[in-house]
Amino acid sequence: MELQHLIINCGSVKTKHFGEILSQESLNYAIVTIEHLTEEHLKNADKIIISGAPILLTEVDPAPYLKKFELLKTIDTPVLGVCFGHQILGMLEGGEIKRTTEARSLETIKQTSPSPLFHAIPQNSVFEEDHCESVTLSDSFQLIAHSQSCENEAMKHKTLNWWGVQFHPEVSEDYGTLLLQNWLNLCTTKG
Active site (catalytic) residues: 83, 168, 170
Q: Which amino acid is at 109?
A: I
Query: What is the rounded distance in angstroms from the CA atom of residue 135 to the CA atom of residue 123?
Result: 22
Chain center to CA of 182: 13
Task: For Cα atoms 147, 181, 10, give the angle at the middle one, nearest 5 degrees.
Answer: 65
- Give the Å distances, CA to CA, from 146 to 29, 135, 150: 30, 12, 6
Report how far apart the first and last C-alpha atoms of the chain are (Å, whole number). Answer: 13
As a whole number of angstroms, the distance between CA 119 and CA 181 comes to: 10
Do residues 145 and 153 lie in contact, with contact meaning Cβ atoms separated by under 8 Å?
A: yes
Pairwise CA distance, residues 8 & 48, whole Å:
7
CA–CA separation, 55 and 140 (whole Å): 24
The SS3 of residue 83 is coil
